[in-house]
């Protein structure tokens, strides 16, 4: 029973990581660690075949097809995975087995791209369907709309064969990946773990404009099926595809012997660190299609190919320094600076240390001897500290409680490992602060997009939020430089800025970006105090008399208004004519006092903004997310996940008609 229990536990663990990798695009362990667990399970099942079951991860291909990501389609040709091999001996055994079964076989050795598998079906030269791997056997997801905006996907071929199905890997270059994560951070969204996860998430989401913007790429690595045209070899197929303008795997070598195959694998290993994209191994496949047909496939893998996985390379080095950088959201990131070492063909001298928790876990200090490696063969990381080599006097590094850029106090975010600078005027996070200020939930300045903000900050026109109202002084320069556009576009934005001065005062308070003070809280606070100036004078005790304002939020508000620089900016906003007074309520009807509503879906006769205004006019509070504190969910068509959560929590769900009835 002990062996059986061990096998079952290992299966559950692997299934969990498969779900994280394939269906959530958010892995918790490296590919190498996953391979080690899978190899252990294979070993146990070989030694104890009586415990092998059809639903074991060793007997299945990849993940499952996700119906919510797109329409499910049936595979014409199964999209199988490859058998992994990990050393030269296993490669030589594969070559020997092929030579035993085939007459003078040829082998092709090529890059194994780390991305998301995709099949493209062409009929008479026109792209008809793009499908993901899904479960690999029966079903995948139809992602044709997204595939058509990938730059490497040809919508029409030069030739027009009756049918051609090709399979490739959708991936993201390091440069494109960094751009996406930079924008995610700027907008306050979750960062992607690595290029592969970003590519997978992008291909499955529903907005083709987002797919196009993120700049996915694709290499074709196999011809799955063809009618009206034929090829004798894999490489002949590649040459045909290249003539059609289709990108195939960039480097491949035709080999005859085990020594040649191993030499090609080693060459790829030496070059992998120089590539602008991730590879997670080398593929060895039979060249002739007739040989492939003779060999066939198991239920999980083709018998005519294997994937060689490179072992993770590790090196010892000395930690020279820990540098602190401040991101656009104020998050402080520690980076290890160490004596340069060569890993996967490149010299590395820096690696992220993520956060204080990671530093604590490693017990790392400046001067320590550390072990570094490349995650996914591309991103340098610190594996561990060799504490027995620690010099005398070295202590664990602690991130200081002041911002390394502006000197403001830092705070650790609740329920996270992130330490952030508390000053919204910190130069390192200025762009993010500006984008929040002009956004829909704050000052709602129409047409003032992130691109304009970044350019105006870069050119020195914007150094704080008050500078927005001085842009009209630079009208001629802005038009001349074309930063916003020609005269018409520039005047349109300047007019929108001018109109925003009349916004309600709670919008201005929201725009300040005070921690824990979002739109709903800002409205409640200013209803209580009446004006920004009155709020600036409030002490901790009076702040905590406001509903939903606890000690932490009150302290954030006091710290913000006690900052001399913030007070100067508010004075400049006042001089510019920005409204600081809360408008008198037109109704004293407080029937929704103390009640919290959430609005979701498309309502029959009013938009959500109007519905929110109606609820708030009667004393209610409108929140953006459903929780145990929610009293009512106002739901229209296509209510989505908020409706599901409300039902799970037992929150009352009402329609627009029922809301109107409550107001009679």
385-418: burial string, b at 16+ Cβ within 10 Å, e else: beeeebeeeeeebebeeebebbebebbbeeeeeb
Q: Looking at residue 345, what is its pLDDT?
A: 59
List the domain boundaries for the chain: 2-59, 67-308, 312-421, 427-575, 596-662
Domain formed by 67-308, architecture: 2-Layer Sandwich (3.30)
The yes or no reply on domain 596-662 and CATH 3.40.50.10190 is yes
- What CATH topology corresponds to 2-59? Helix Hairpins (1.10.287)
**Phi/psi at 59 (5° precision):** -105, 0
**406 assigned to a ligand binding site:** yes
CA 61 to chain centre: 25
**64 assigned to a ligand binding site:** no
When pLDDT is cut at 50, 70 and 90, the band that residue 547 belongs to is confident
When pLDDT is cut at 50, 70 and 90, the band that residue 399 belongs to is very high
Closest to 373 measured CA to CA, from 33, 25, 14: 33
Say if CB 603 and CB 611 are below 8 A apart: yes
**118 assigned to a ligand binding site:** no
Active site amino acids:
112
**Phi/psi at 198 (5° precision):** -65, -45
Please enumerate in sequence order all residues whose Cβ is within 8 A of that of 269, keeping only pairs 6 or more positions apart, or say none: 282, 310, 344, 345
Say if CB 67 and CB 139 are below 8 A apart: no
What is the per-residue pLDDT across 170-192, written as a single tens digit (0 to 9) for each?
999 988 988 888 888 777 677 78
Q: How far apart are CA 180 and CA 193, in angstroms?
A: 11
Average the pLDDT over 46-58 and give the result: 82
Total count of residues recorded for the chain: 664
Joined together, the tokens standing for residue 294 give: 């003779």
Is pLDDT at 84 greater than 50 in this prediction?
yes
Average the pLDDT over 122-144 and give the result: 92
Packing angle, helices 2-18 and 31-47, rounded to 10: 150
DSSP states along 541-606: HHHTTSTT--HHHHHHHHHHHH-HHHHHHHHHHHHTT---BPPPPS----TTTT-EEEEESB-SSS
- Indicate the pairing of strand 632-635 with strand 621-623: unpaired
CA 464 to chain centre: 29
**23-27, 430-434, 493-497: least confident range:** 23-27
Say if CB 492 and CB 518 are below 8 A apart: no
Average the pLDDT over 106-132 and give the result: 95
Average the pLDDT over 318-327 and give the result: 92
- Indicate the pairing of strand 314-326 with strand 369-375: antiparallel
**567 assigned to a ligand binding site:** no
Instruction: Provide the 10 A C-beta neighbour count for residue 430.
Output: 19
What is the per-residue pLDDT across 244-275, written as a single tens digit (0 to 9) for each?
999 999 889 999 999 999 999 999 988 877 78
**421 assigned to a ligand binding site:** yes
**111 assigned to a ligand binding site:** no
Domain formed by 312-421, architecture: Beta Barrel (2.40)
Most confident of 38-47, 286-295, 484-493, 641-650: 286-295
Q: How far apart are CA 129 and CA 145, in angstroms?
A: 9
**81 assigned to a ligand binding site:** yes
**34 assigned to a ligand binding site:** yes
CATH of 427-575 given 3.40.50.970, 3.40.220.10, 2.40.110.10, 1.10.150.20: 1.10.150.20
Joined together, the tokens standing for residue 40 give: 């252990």
- Indicate the pairing of strand 596-600 with strand 621-623: parallel
**455 assigned to a ligand binding site:** no
DSSP states along 390-417: PPTT-------SB-TTT--BEEEPTTSS
What is the per-residue pLDDT across 431-472, written as a single tens digit (0 to 9) for each?
888 988 999 889 999 999 888 998 898 898 999 999 999 999
Average the pLDDT over 536-550 and give the result: 89
**344 assigned to a ligand binding site:** no
Indicate yes or no: pTM above 0.75: no
Average pLDDT, the chain: 88
Is pLDDT at 588 greater than 60 in this prediction?
no
Q: How far apart are CA 92 and CA 306, in angstroms?
A: 11
**31 assigned to a ligand binding site:** yes
Q: Looking at residue 610, what is its pLDDT?
A: 83
Q: How far apart are the first and last CA of the chain?
A: 68
């Amino acid at each position: 029973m002990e062996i059986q229990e061990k096998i079952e536990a290992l299966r559950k663990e692997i299934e969990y990581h498969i779900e994280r990798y394939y269906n959530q695009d958010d892995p918790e362990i490296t590919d190498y660690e996953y391979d080690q667990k899978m190899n252990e399970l294979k070993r146990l099942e070989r030694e104890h075949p009586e415990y092998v079951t059809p639903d074991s991860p060793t007997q299945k291909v990849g993940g499952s097809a996700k119906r919510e990501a797109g329409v499910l389609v049936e595979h014409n040709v199964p999209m199988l995975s490859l058998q992994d091999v990990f050393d030269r001996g296993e490669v030589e055994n594969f070559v020997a087995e092929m030579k035993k079964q085939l007459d003078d076989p040829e082998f092709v050795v090529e890059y194994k791209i780390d991305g998301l598998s995709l099949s493209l079906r062409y009929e008479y030269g026109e792209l008809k369907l793009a499908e993901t791997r899904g479960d690999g056997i029966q079903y995948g997801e139809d992602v044709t709309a997204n595939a058509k905006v990938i730059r490497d996907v040809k919508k029409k071929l030069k030739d027009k064969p009756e049918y051609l199905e090709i399979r490739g890997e959708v991936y993201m270059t390091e440069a494109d990946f960094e751009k996406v994560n930079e924008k995610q951070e700027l907008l306050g969204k979750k960062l992607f773990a690595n290029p592969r996860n970003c590519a997978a998430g992008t291909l499955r989401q529903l907005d083709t404009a987002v797919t196009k913007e993120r700049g996915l790429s694709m290499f074709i690595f196999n011809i799955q099926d063809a009618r009206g045209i034929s090829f004798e070899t894999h490489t002949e197929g590649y040459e045909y595809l290249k003539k059609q303008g289709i990108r195939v795997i960039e480097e491949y070598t035709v080999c005859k012997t085990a020594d040649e195959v191993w030499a090609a694998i080693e060459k790829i290993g030496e070059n992998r660190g120089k590539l602008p994209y991730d590879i997670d191994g080398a593929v060895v496949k039979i060249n002739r299609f007739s040989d492939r047909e003779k060999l066939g496939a198991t239920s999980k893998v083709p018998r005519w190919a294997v994937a060689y996985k490179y072992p993770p390379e590790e090196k010892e080095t000395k930690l020279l320094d820990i540098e602190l950088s401040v991101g656009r959201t104020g998050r402080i990131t520690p980076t290890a600076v160490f004596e340069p070492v060569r890993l996967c063909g490149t010299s590395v001298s820096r690696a992220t240390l993520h956060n204080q928790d990671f530093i604590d876990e490693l017990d790392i200090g400046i001067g320590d001897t550390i072990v570094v490696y490349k995650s996914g063969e591309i991103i340098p990381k610190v594996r561990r500290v060799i504490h027995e080599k620690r010099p005398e006097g070295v202590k664990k590094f602690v991130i200081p409680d002041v911002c390394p850029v502006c000197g403001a106090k830092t705070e650790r975010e609740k329920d996270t490992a992130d330490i952030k600078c508390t000053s919204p005027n910190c130069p390192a996070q200025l762009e993010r602060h500006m984008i929040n200020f002009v956004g829909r939930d704050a000052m709602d300045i129409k047409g003032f997009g992130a691109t304009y903000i970044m350019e105006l900050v870069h050119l020195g026109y914007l150094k704080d939020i008050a500078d927005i109202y001085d842009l009209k002084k630079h009208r001629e320069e802005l038009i001349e430089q074309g930063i916003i556009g020609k005269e018409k576009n520039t005047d349109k934005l300047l007019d929108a800025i001018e109109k925003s001065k009349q916004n309600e005062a709670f919008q201005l308070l929201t725009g300040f970006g005070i921690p824990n003070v979002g739109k709903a809280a800002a409205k409640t606070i200013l209803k209580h105090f009446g004006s920004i100036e009155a709020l600036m004078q409030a002490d901790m005790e009076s702040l905590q008399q406001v509903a939903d304002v606890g000690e932490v939020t009150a302290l954030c508000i006091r710290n913000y208004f006690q900052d001399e620089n913030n007070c100067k900016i508010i004075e400049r906003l006042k001089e510019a004519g920005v409204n600081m007074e809360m408008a008198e309520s037109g109704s004293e009807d407080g029937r929704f006092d103390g009640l919290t509503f959430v609005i979701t879906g498309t309502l029959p006769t009013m938009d959500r903004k109007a519905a929110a205004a109606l609820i708030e006019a009667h004393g209610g509070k409108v929140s953006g997310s459903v929780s145990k504190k929610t009293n009512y969910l106002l739901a229209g068509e296509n209510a989505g996940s908020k409706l599901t959560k409300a039902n799970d929590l037992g929150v009352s769900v009402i329609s627009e008609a029922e809301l109107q009835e409550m107001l009679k």
